[in-house]
Chains A and B, each alone.
Chain A
């Protein structure tokens, strides 16, 4: 229920824009080319992207044609089903000990997400240590420290400009010797087309594999819901570098709907695990496809 309420609240503005148009469309009850054209534009304006919008429409057309749907209410439900089917309902599960590597481009909200994730695990009664492997951005460690204090977890940090892989190494050693359940690794924001920075990320990934092979591994990429089609390239290239398991979609409390995650799931089968809906420590929720779709259409 919590997710539902928050996400509906967050996407309210979206709903006002898009839901209105959609309802008008469905109420006409005529499902012709004009209807699908208009629907395509609606999906595009939610950042779903051309290719996936076309795929959604084809699928909807086929399903509605097969069942000879003409009732507006039913058609609406069919669209929801197509969208939730694409998104799937994979849940985020880990076995302890585990190492969660959090990466993404600059300014998407990695550090904030780490703080919120730590809070979730602490609430589950797990012990957590954070590796402050963003040694590049000014005051990144300090920012992380504030979050760690809020979540009441330990953080391992080195000074600005030091080797991020070394920070990770220390955090892993610490976790192993203390028997910590969860290691969260915060990394510097990096644009996916910067080769050297992607190599640095690969190195961190390798260090984790090598130093803590018995740990359950999860690599999360953080995407800003405001981002458009470039998010596809982001996931593609991060995935090439370090095998991305899932997405954290942040800033869903604005008017952006992050529809690009549909394209990403459709093209690359990378699921969304969490959504960020505010700046409070509890504002990270487990993703629920039905609620999300409910929020955007």
Chain B
């Protein structure tokens, strides 16, 4: 059997067969569904969840509408996608604010899920929204966990509270009192990683929850979790009545089938996803995008959003005007490189492009170093040179190469690229189809 590295390829393969057919028989749908089930299992969707899902989709797919349709394959894809979105949750959720401040958020989960890192990301996210956040070090077990949270807090410019290794309930209570006194409106409690079957430690969380009136209890789960995700999520939810889930490490190449399972067994919303090692790498969870990503339709919306926030509209308008007047210069070129750099990790962006996984595009790494080099070259030019690239003779190019620590050939290559870009843009400007 051919090995498919992910659900996307798998389902694409299944439906490539379906697409080539006219009307489908019940038996054919059954066969296709078996392959979808296998694909879901390979993507770590829990086997019981996968079974339910397949039953539901089969029922809908065997309906008259699909069998009589001229494009049954597409109908089936539509149904699979719709059901996937439904399973993941239909709307995105935000964090609640307690009527009585401070809002206390408790983070919990297994060891190594990424709770402490996530505390920092959430703190940064909330502070950007104008909240004043206090991080409370309530992991008294793991060596240096307190120190780690302290560093995380200072990087996020959030408040930090610790009481060493005293009683976790007391620490949480004191943190809330400290927050009240010092004007923090949000307290994020970082708890120790624990196994869901460890009764003693689960009771500890219950005690904290009761003592400080926790408003949001968030379960932090590693996106790479396998079949056990349902046991973990179910137990945490039963014991603590969680209010939401955060999925971490989604920047890996896992398909994150666990996400589906957790939503299915707890019914609790997935609120955020962690997508990188940096403090800013936190995104709200969008069920539709997640489903699209799993099905290989790419995460187009996120891509567009990233581009929009990175590229200043005013700058874009200015650039459009310059193009029309044909005085696009190296300053503008540099600005473009900066905007591309602002969009974040280019390789992440490539992963969001529809079909990138199928085309094996995701294997091709975008050379971010090249962009950095290009920026360095332009930054080594004088104002005059940037505004009027025509004056760049050999001795100037040699000086520039020295200034940015590269070869003259590199400078030549950049200038050539720039000229080609100018030509292309002029053509596009004439045809009134701007590239953005």
Contacts and interface: CB of A to CB of B under 8 A. Distances in A.
Interface of A: 13, 41, 44-47, 49-51, 54, 105-109, 136-140, 142-143, 145-147, 160, 191-195, 224, 226-231, 233, 251, 253-257, 260, 279
A44 B40 CA distance: 11
A5 B337 CA distance: 60
Interface in B243-281: 249, 251-254, 257-258, 277
Given A45-B47, A50-B38, A143-B144, 18 more contacts: A45-B46, A51-B3, A107-B249, A138-B147, A139-B145, A142-B147, A143-B143, A143-B145, A143-B148, A146-B144, A227-B226, A228-B227, A228-B257, A229-B226, A233-B253, A251-B110, A254-B196, A254-B232
27 contacts: A41-B47, A47-B44, A107-B249, A139-B144, A142-B144, A143-B143, A143-B144, A145-B144, A146-B144, A191-B252, A192-B252, A193-B251, A193-B253, A226-B222, A226-B226, A227-B222, A228-B254, A229-B43, A230-B254, A231-B226, A254-B196, A254-B232, A255-B195, A255-B197, A255-B228, A256-B226, A256-B231
Interface string B103-115: 0000000111110
B341 to A, nearest CB: 16
A206 to B, nearest CB: 20
A88 B365 CA distance: 38
B307 to A, nearest CB: 22
Contact of A226 (B43, B147, B225): B225
B29 interface: no
A254 B222 contact: no
A47 to B, nearest CB: 4
B143 A107 contact: no
Given A107-B112, A143-B143, A45 B224 contact: no
A109 B112 contact: yes
B245 to A, nearest CB: 15
Interface band, chain B = 35 or more
A260 to B, nearest CB: 7
Contact of A106 (B112, B195, B365): B112
B151 interface: yes
A230 B224 contact: yes
B151 A139 contact: yes
Given A13-B197, A107-B113, A227-B226, A44 B249 contact: no
B195 A254 contact: yes
A130 to B, nearest CB: 13
A17 to B, nearest CB: 8
A51 B10 CA distance: 14
Contacts of A49: 41-42
A147 B251 CA distance: 30
Nearest 7 A-B pairs (CB), nearest first?
A228-B226, A107-B112, A146-B143, A228-B44, A139-B148, A138-B151, A142-B144
Interface of B: 1, 3, 5, 38, 41-44, 46-47, 110-114, 141-145, 147-148, 150-152, 155, 195-197, 222, 224-229, 231-232, 249, 251-254, 257-258, 277, 347, 365
Given A142-B147, A226-B222, A254-B195, A191 B110 contact: no
A109 B41 CA distance: 26
A202 to B, nearest CB: 15
Contacts of B1: 51, 54
Given A41-B47, A233-B5, A255-B231, A226 B144 contact: no
B227 A193 contact: no
Contacts, number: 143
A13 B234 CA distance: 14
A145 B143 CA distance: 9
A107 B111 contact: yes
A195 B47 contact: no
A49 B196 CA distance: 24
A53 B277 CA distance: 35
Contacts of A233: 5, 253-254
Q: Which of A46, A193, A195, A229 has the most CB of B within 10 A?
A: A229
Contacts of B228: 47, 226, 254-257
A13 B199 CA distance: 13
B227 A254 contact: no
Contact of B365 (A44, A139, A195): A195
B252 A253 contact: no
B116 to A, nearest CB: 8
B97 to A, nearest CB: 28
Contacts of A138: 147-148, 151-152, 155
A98 to B, nearest CB: 25
B28 to A, nearest CB: 20
A229 B252 contact: no
B141 A107 contact: no
Contacts of B277: 106, 136
A194 B275 CA distance: 12
A199 to B, nearest CB: 11
A199 B144 CA distance: 28
Contact of B114 (A13, A106, A279): A106
A105 B224 contact: yes
A229 to B, nearest CB: 6
B202 to A, nearest CB: 13
A207 B8 CA distance: 39
Contacts of B112: 106-109, 224, 251
A105 B252 contact: yes
Given A228-B225, A255-B196, A256-B228, A147 B143 contact: yes
B114 A107 contact: yes
